[in-house]
Chain A
């Protein structure tokens, strides 16, 4: 017989309740990068807008950075760890695939027994996690969800590749998503373009080390086709950002902040131009001192905008992540 199943009951809407970030202690200026590549501070700044980035030390692991950022986000939301019903961790730089690092992070945070899992969605990982969290809350499978973006991209950086050596940074950013009486996270416009999977990629799969003498194989690193990525990010992602605004019913004039993935200042500048964002909109430019931290970049930039008073609680922000996959996710949120 087909038994009648009780429907799940969630909150009417979801919102970001708190945000937290962790940046590794060690600040790495362009001068240090220049020991390995033939370039200049001026060249790096003009191509990327990056002046410094943070690189993690041995004690600043994917787990410890996540616990720092997650703990701050939980406190910022005014909650205690045991109120977290699910932990989603987005990362591409945690090198032990099983078990998911989310379970260890949840345990270290003292959250009890939440659902906990990792996702892999490159630089769109935060947006993917946010979409999942919103769905879980409105579906009723969790009341409060911790979404963490965390990377140690210095582990995947080829210091001798002059096109990418200066780009990447380490860090963790986190938000707590919870129930809301009003809509505070818009529809997510997301997707993937697997035909462009070679555009940004890890140079080699890990099993090369099993199949070949590891002394003969260079350690994997991130590579990208700069021009192709730039074109896609600026022109295609501007369309996605516009669609997110349209689907949320928010006009550019009503935006307070724009928090794009912090890939490169040139991409950010060109996106603003292509989107024709009004001048009053505050633009996150955290990439200058944080570098590209992939999944961590949006929550880190959000935390910094709020901490420095450039944006305030209740402001309306457009967020968009895009990267390896290629994948993307954009939405409009009310800032915590």
Chain B
């Protein structure tokens, strides 16, 4: 069954916490990965790969650069999840 927006946000928060050590409660829809959460371009790849596995979604390299905020990523996953 497809995950809800809330579930995706919760899952992403756990992933960001594991990879970048950011407290899950700081991972909010309007936060920028690079500017607010200290997720640099390489850590972003790790977040994306973990999200792909967790949500059964493919996020090609060309699309990764468009995921600026947590909300961008949640929307992307919501739309593309299998």
Contacts and interface: CB of A to CB of B under 8 A. Distances in A.
A227 B40 contact: no
Interface of B: 40-42, 44-46, 48-49, 61, 64-65
A266 B61 contact: no
B65 A227 contact: yes
B49 A235 contact: yes
Contacts of A46: 40
A234 B44 CA distance: 13
B32 to A, nearest CB: 16
Contacts of B49: 231, 234-235
Contact of B61 (A47, A227, A234, A270): A227
Q: Which 6 A-B pairs have the closest CB atoms?
A: A228-B61, A231-B45, A230-B45, A266-B42, A230-B42, A227-B45
28 contacts: A46-B40, A47-B40, A47-B41, A47-B42, A225-B61, A226-B41, A226-B42, A227-B41, A227-B42, A227-B44, A227-B45, A227-B61, A227-B65, A228-B61, A230-B41, A230-B42, A230-B45, A231-B45, A231-B48, A231-B49, A231-B61, A234-B45, A234-B46, A234-B49, A235-B49, A266-B42, A270-B42, A270-B46
A270 B45 CA distance: 11
Interface of A: 46-47, 225-228, 230-231, 234-235, 266, 270
Nearest to A48: B42
Contacts of B44: 227
B50 to A, nearest CB: 11
A292 to B, nearest CB: 15
A47 B39 CA distance: 11
A204 to B, nearest CB: 23
B38 to A, nearest CB: 10
B40 to A, nearest CB: 7
B58 to A, nearest CB: 12
Contacts of B48: 231
A270 B41 CA distance: 14
A227 B64 contact: yes
Contacts of A235: 49
Nearest to B61: A228
A106 to B, nearest CB: 41
Contacts of A230: 41-42, 45
B66 to A, nearest CB: 12
Contacts of A266: 42
A99 to B, nearest CB: 39
Nearest to A273: B46
B49 to A, nearest CB: 6
Nearest to B46: A270
A47 B34 CA distance: 13
A270 B43 CA distance: 10
Contacts of B64: 227
Nearest to A225: B61
B28 to A, nearest CB: 24
A230 B65 CA distance: 14
Contacts of A231: 45, 48-49, 61
Contacts of A226: 41-42
Contacts of A225: 61
